[in-house]
Every structure is written in structure tokens, then in C-alpha cells.
A = this chain, B = another copy of it.
Amino acid sequence: MIKRSFASDNNAGVHPEVIEAIRAANEGHVIAYGDDPFTERAVKLFKKHFGPDVAVYFVFGGTGANVLGLKAITKSHQAIICAETAHVNVDECGAPENFTGCKLLTVATPDGKLRVEQIKPLLHGIGVEHHVQPAVIAISQATEMGTVYTKDELKTLADFAHDHGMLLHVDGARLSNAAVSLNAVLKEITADVGVDVLSFGGTKNGMMYGEAVVFFDPKLAADFKYIRKQGMQLSSKMRFIAAQFEAMLSGNLWRRGPAHANRMAQLLASELAQLPQIKITQPVESNGVFAVIPSEHIPALQQKYFFYVWNEEISEVRLMASFDTTEKDIRDFVAFVRETVK
């Protein structure tokens, strides 16, 4: 396998500044489980970026962040509304159902974005004990299709949720990519538009491991420390997650990586679009490119470059850029594609 593929942003390694922060945190003893100065500083940075009232908890991974955040705001007879393509629906091996006990109610949506009109039909049955009771709208920002909700779209969803006694949960594994795409700071696309609970991604943005669950109303987090422990997501040497987030959020590293990755995705899409055999299928709004490539050429491409076929039926592939993707990586890949499909 070559050094850098387009399979996923989690195939990349760790940003050098993050590695350095880890090394620097490795000094002496500190109390385990988060009662340490690293965690205290990292939490302060979250409050700076997301608002002074947020409650923040670090967990090991992205599935853990999503599932535990959802557990905190649901009871087992309730339902979580999400897109059919949502990570919580297709990529977490049923962990949301298993750990929350809830049903996921899914909506088919070609661009990965939920809209109020699609949600309304799921709400009849309210108050009827035979049916699960929708309690959460769960979206991904950026979506699994590389698209990005605008601030207005987010606010519309949040308002609708709140008007109907529901909460808005955001899987922000790639929230930073979305913020860059919208030219926004993190608070503008979360607290300011009415998001209730957020999984804030670290790993896909250049960390080694570690995600954050952010509650915009701390009352929602009343039991979360127990949920995190029971959910097997409490790290003993917490300082090493905290130090990574500190590296991310103390300067502008949180947006430098995604800004670069988004630009690389744009470049990749525009180059591929020039090949008549290839069709870009989604607007490129973050760091993912979706493209139909004639299926007969895919095996040859995959021998040299690792990437995923997203939709076999239409021979659509997903190509992800990451913080360390270079222009040369892209030009080499596109040249190879051009050669292969011609």
C-alpha cells in the first residue's frame, strides 16, 4: 500500500503538534480519570469555543461519543430520528439500539441531510403506547455524504425539534470541516443555532484517539459521568486525551487541518470532473468526494489506492482527503485514474 490513500480521514496518522502535546504531558503522576490540570485546561478551551455553560466529557472514540450522548437524552421507549446514511444507523453495529434500547427511525435522504418535511410523518403516534416516542433528531455535520448543513438549516431543525419536545443531537466527527466550509466558528454552528448535544470529533481531525461529548445545557449531563463509566468510555490516563484537545483548541490547529483537507477535496473533485468517464455525485462541501467511476476500472484503481465503494449499484466511490493529503497525492492519483479509465 502506498503512503497516503483516500479511504478515510482516519487512515491518516496523528498531527505532529498533537504528538508533541502527548509527549509533553508525559511528566510525573496526575490523578486518573480526569481530575487533573490537563483536563481542566482542555475543558476551559471547550468553554471558550462553545460557550461558558457547556458541560464537556472526553471519551475514547466516535461511536462511544454518539451512543453515550444519545443515552443521556433518551429513555428506552423513545426513538431517534436520523438519516438512513447516518453513522449511528449504519456504521455502529447497532450500538445505539443496544445501549440506549431505543429504536432508530430513518429517513431516506440522497444528500445525507434531514429536512423537517421528512420528519413530520414520523410524529404521528405521539402519546400512543404501542409506538416508540420520537425524542431526538440526530444529524451528522458534515454529513456522511460530504454535505454541510447551513446555519439556517440547523436552526430550522433545532427549532422544530424543540417545538415538538425533542432535542437535536449532532454527530460532529467532522464538525471542524463543516465550520471551515461555512466560514464559521464552532459556537455559531452549535450553541447559537440550538444544538443540544454534540459529539465533537478529534480522531478524524488529526488526534490519535479521543472525542468529546458536549452538552449545551449542563442539566442534560446530570448523569453523564455514570453513563460514561458504565459505557466503558472513561479513560484512566485522561490527561493524554485532554492534552490532544488542548493542542487542537488552544491555537487554530482545529481549523488548519480541516481547511487543508477541504481544499484538497475541492482540488480532487475539480480534477476528476475533467475526466469525462467520471461523474461527481455530491456537492463537495467538506473533505469528501463522491464520484461514479465505471465499475470495470475500480479493481485496478484499488490495487494501488485504497478507497471504499460507497454504492455498488451505481458504482459510486467515496474519496476522503485528510489533514496530511498533499497536492502531489492528488495529482498522482488523478493521473493514475486518467490513465486507468481512458
Query: Which of A's residues lie within 8 Å of B, judged by CB?
Result: 1-5, 7-8, 10-14, 16, 19, 22-23, 25-33, 60-64, 67-68, 75-79, 90-95, 97-99, 101-104, 121, 124, 129-133, 203-204, 208-209, 223, 225-237, 239-240, 306, 312-313, 322
Check B13 against A28 for contact (C-beta < 8 Å): yes
A10 touches B32 (CB 8 A): yes
State how many angstroms separate the Cβ of A94 from the closest Cβ of chain B: 4
Q: Within the complex, which residue of B13, B23, B30, B229 is in contact with A93, where a contact is CB–CB below 8 Å?
A: B229
Q: Which of B3, B27, B76, B209 meets A60, CB within 8 Å? A: B209
- For A227, the chain B residues whose CB sits under 8 A away are 77
6 chain-A/chain-B pairs, Cβ below 8 angstroms: A10-B237, A11-B30, A13-B27, A77-B230, A94-B101, A99-B99
Which residues of B lie under 8 Å from residue A78 when comparing CB positions?
94
Chain B residues within an 8 Å CB radius of A233: 60-61, 232
Question: Are B30 and A130 touching (Cβ within 8 A)?
Answer: no
Known: A19-B22, A131-B93. A67 touches B30 (CB 8 A): no
- B25, B60, B79, B236: the one contacting A94 at CB < 8 Å is B79
B4 touches A93 (CB 8 A): no
Chain B nearest CB, measured from A302 CB (Å): 12
